Amino acid sequence: MAAQPLIRRLCVIGVGLIGGSLARALREKGEVAEVVGSGRNEDNLRAAVRLGVVDRYDTDPARAVAGADMVVIAVPLGAIEPVLRAIVPSLSPGAVLTDVGSAKGSVVADVERVCGQVLPNFVPGHPIAGTEKSGVDASFATLFRQRRVILTPLVETAAAAHHLVKKMWELTGAEVVDMGVRHHDAVLAATSHLPHMLAYTLVDTLARLDDRAEIFRYAAGGFRDFTRIASSDPTMWHDICLANREQLLEMIALFGADLERLAEAIRTGDRAAILATFQRAKRARDNLYLD
Amino acid sequence: MAAQPLIRRLCVIGVGLIGGSLARALREKGEVAEVVGSGRNEDNLRAAVRLGVVDRYDTDPARAVAGADMVVIAVPLGAIEPVLRAIVPSLSPGAVLTDVGSAKGSVVADVERVCGQVLPNFVPGHPIAGTEKSGVDASFATLFRQRRVILTPLVETAAAAHHLVKKMWELTGAEVVDMGVRHHDAVLAATSHLPHMLAYTLVDTLARLDDRAEIFRYAAGGFRDFTRIASSDPTMWHDICLANREQLLEMIALFGADLERLAEAIRTGDRAAILATFQRAKRARDNLYLD
């Protein structure tokens, strides 16, 4: 334990992959004196205690946040509004509140709806990390190491709250960057939300073919990588695509038009157009990652 | 070297990832006495000699096949017809011929066009293995271990030729299965050709956005896996999508309709439909692979 830990009492609402990994990382650093968990699944909360991820839990979020100086909401986006309604009246004066939702516009709107304003001590956040696994069993302390965490503070956000949330994520080994709410949602629609829609749709399309058993038998390594994200939690992703509906639909439309254009090039045997598409894509992908 | 190697002289036309890995595997087993390479890129052929993948090479495929008892055509699909025109007159009597193309209908049509008939000693084949890398430098002896190789013999195919090609692939550690030509092309359109089109299109769509630099900066692990196949060789894939045009276009249309249906569900906030799609996909993906 650090002589003066950054956080005295951390309350994590939703002790899953993200919430659990954050608690683990901060405990490992000795930068949190006490961790209180909350959530709807008591089995999961008991597991969190057993695994040493939290010290104790309370299934009532209003009681769980009592006396916490840092509250992290790590539930699916669709559950954020009811959680806010439950906890806001019980927050300690000065408590800092943040979330980990994959869309930020909807969370800011939730806060405004519940509180009638943007809370100065609320710092919208989004760690760009995760696996296709869910639950506290899947959490690990190094999940955020060398990953990016995006914060989307508003003009109303208090500098001290922003600073504390930034510091908390840096302690997990993440690089923290600030971004505007709409810009965050546009970037994530392109790099994460659209790819998940494509992976889910592809697997579902194939799973409804008559010879699906045969088809999946011959799915090789490329398919395995390509469809890994289709194992992600359906409820979480259902919430994300509705929360970022407008920007996601725009990306789906862009992609759909490009796919139709490629299909047309294949149909008409337009070799130059096909090759140009693949070459541009390969160049972009190769420059992006050196693996 | 086995006392009586399976193959006396193997000629590999196109000593890349697949052709090179096959030669390496057979040499490691001592089941080939001599390997002759051929291809258009002399630098690559020189590298193949230097790496010990082939004993010698000849850039003229007609000369390269002379005296070979097994000839493997491992060039992109679009180059198979000219290769056949060059080599068929020079094949030794009794030489067995096979290929590794990712579509089989087009290769069978190539053989019929060049020879006026299906050659009894020609066995169409397709190893379901590979990486997004290309060239002999990327080849390795264990590429086919525990992978599937599909052969699509025709009624005209000689049993002895079929048997020899099957034996050859089994020596690499692969499981060899037989399939009809059209069925092969349907299964591959679904599990491989469509996913490649989606990955190429996605990366290309994003690469043409105004804030592409920013977007790619925030692409995390899921995106990396999802787009790995967009690094595949553009020429090879250009050939594949034209060779399997009809069945690929059918799959793109199916997928496109499903994506449009999902977009409509997101647009109208049809929670049940969205969730059902994601749940079906997750169930199929989880049952498919246990990773």
Q: How far is B146 from chain A (nearest CA, A)?
A: 11
* pLDDT value of residue B291: 44
Q: How far is B74 from chain A (nearest CA, A)?
A: 19
Instruction: Provide the Cα torsion B54, B58, B59, B62; round to 10°.
Output: -120
**Using the beta-carbon criterion (under 8 Å), do B253 and A238 form an inter-chain contact?**
no
CB-based contact, A134 to chain B, within 8 Å: no
Helix axes B194-207, A194-207, angle to 10 degrees: 170
Q: How far is A136 from chain B (nearest CA, A)?
A: 18
B62-96 confidence digits (pLDDT tens): 999 999 999 999 999 999 999 999 999 999 999 99
CB-based contact, B180 to chain A, within 8 Å: no
CB-based contact, B43 to chain A, within 8 Å: no
Q: What is the ipTM of this complex?
A: 0.89
State mean pLDDT over B264-283: 97
CB-based contact, B291 to chain A, within 8 Å: yes
**Using the beta-carbon criterion (under 8 Å), do A222 and B254 form an inter-chain contact?**
no
State mean pLDDT over B190-215: 93
CB-based contact, A254 to chain B, within 8 Å: yes
According to DSSP, the residues that pair with B2 across neighbouring strands are: none
**Does position B15 have pLDDT exceeding 90, yes or no?**
yes
Of B190, B192, B281, which has the smallest distance from its Cβ to A222's Cβ? B192
- Which residue positions in chain A have pLDDT lower than 70? 1-2, 220-221, 289-291
Residue ranges of B 222-251 with Cβ closer than 8 A to chain A:
222-235, 237-238, 241-242, 245, 248-249, 251
In CATH, what number does A7-179 get? Answer: 3.40.50.720
Query: Taking CB atoms and an 8 Å cutoff, what residues of chain B touch A194?
Result: 202
Q: Please state which of the ranges A74-83, B34-43, B206-215, B265-274 shows the lowest mean pLDDT.
A: B206-215
Q: In chain B, whose CA is at the least distance from the CA of A222? A: B229
**Using the beta-carbon criterion (under 8 Å), do A284 and B242 form an inter-chain contact?**
no
CB-based contact, B212 to chain A, within 8 Å: yes
State mean pLDDT over B19-25: 98
How far are the Cα atoms of A218, A219, B130, B176, B284 from residue A224, in angstroms, in the given order? Answer: 11, 7, 13, 20, 12
Of B190, B223, B274, which has the smallest distance from its Cβ to A191's Cβ? B223
Burial of B204-226, coded b for 16+ CB within 10 Å and e otherwise, reads bbbbebeeeeebbebbbebbebb
Q: Which residues contact A16 (CB under 8 A, 6 or more apart)?
A: A39, A44, A74, A134, A135, A136, A138, A139
**Does position B223 have pLDDT exceeding 60, yes or no?**
yes
* pLDDT value of residue A2: 64
Query: Taking CB atoms and an 8 Å cutoff, what residues of chain B touch A259?
Result: 197-198, 201, 252, 255-256
State mean pLDDT over B115-142: 92
Query: Taking CB atoms and an 8 Å cutoff, what residues of chain A touch B227?
Result: 195, 285, 288
Of A148, A222, A274, which has the smallest distance from its Cβ to B218's Cβ? A148
* pLDDT value of residue A133: 83
Q: In chain B, whose CA is at the least distance from the CA of A150? A: B218
Q: Which residues contact B203 (CB under 8 A, 6 or more apart)?
A: A281, A282, A284, A285, B227, B230
State mean pLDDT over B243-268: 98
CB-based contact, B221 to chain A, within 8 Å: yes
Structure tokens belonging to residue B11? 């000629």
Of A204, A230, A280, which has the smallest distance from its Cβ to B204's Cβ? A280
Whether B61 contacts B147, CB under 8 Å: no
* B125-128 β-sheet, strand order: B125-128, B148-151, B175-178
By C-alpha distance, which of B65, B105, B104, B109 is closest to B87?
B65
Preferred mutation among A179, A204, A212 to probe B, highest tally of B CBs within 10 A: A204
What is the biggest distance separating any 2 CA atoms in chain A, rounded to whole angstroms?
A: 70
At B289, the pLDDT band (50, 70, 90 cuts) reads: low
* pLDDT value of residue B31: 96
* pLDDT value of residue A176: 98
How far apart (Å, rounded) are the C-alpha atoms in residues A103 and A93? 27
Query: Taking CB atoms and an 8 Å cutoff, what residues of chain A touch B237?
Result: 278
Whether A115 contacts A84, CB under 8 Å: yes
The CATH label, of 1.10.3660.10, 1.20.1560.10, 3.40.50.620, 3.30.530.20, for the domain at A184-288 is 1.10.3660.10
How far apart (Å, rounded) are the C-alpha atoms in residues A173 and A179? 19
Whether B258 contacts A256, CB under 8 Å: no
Query: Taking CB atoms and an 8 Å cutoff, what residues of chain A touch B267?
Result: 245, 249
Q: In chain B, whose CA is at the least distance from the CA of A231? A: B282
How far apart (Å, rounded) are the C-alpha atoms in residues B252 and B230? 17
Could you give the count of Cα atoms lying within 13 Å of B198 in the half-sphere of its Cβ? 32
**Using the beta-carbon criterion (under 8 Å), do A191 and B255 form an inter-chain contact?**
no
* pLDDT value of residue B213: 84
Q: Do B7-179 and B184-288 show the same overall fold?
A: no
Q: Please say whether the dihedral angle defined by the alpha carbons of residues A264, A266, A267 and A269, taken in this order, is positive or negative.
A: positive
Query: Taking CB atoms and an 8 Å cutoff, what residues of chain B touch A234?
Result: 275, 278-279, 282
Burial of B287 (0-12, 13-18, 19+ CB in 10 A): exposed
* pLDDT value of residue A291: 44
* pLDDT value of residue B140: 97
Preferred mutation among A102, A197, A200 to probe B, highest tally of B CBs within 10 A: A200
- The H or E element spanning position B7 is strand B7-13
Query: Taking CB atoms and an 8 Å cutoff, what residues of chain B touch A205?
Result: 251, 254-255, 258
* pLDDT value of residue A93: 95
Of A222, A252, A266, which has the smallest distance from its Cβ to B259's Cβ? A252
Instruction: Provide the Cα torsion B80, B84, B85, B87; round to 10°.
Output: 130
Of B207, B266, B284, which has the smallest distance from its Cβ to A281's Cβ? B207
Indicate the domain borders of chain B. 7-179, 184-288
According to DSSP, the residues that pair with B151 across neighbouring strands are: B125, B178
Preferred mutation among B18, B177, B201, B229 to probe A, highest tally of A CBs within 10 A: B201
Of B128, B194, B200, which has the smallest distance from its Cβ to A218's Cβ? B128
Query: Taking CB atoms and an 8 Å cutoff, what residues of chain A touch B238?
Result: 271, 274-275, 278
Structure tokens belonging to residue A102? 């994959």
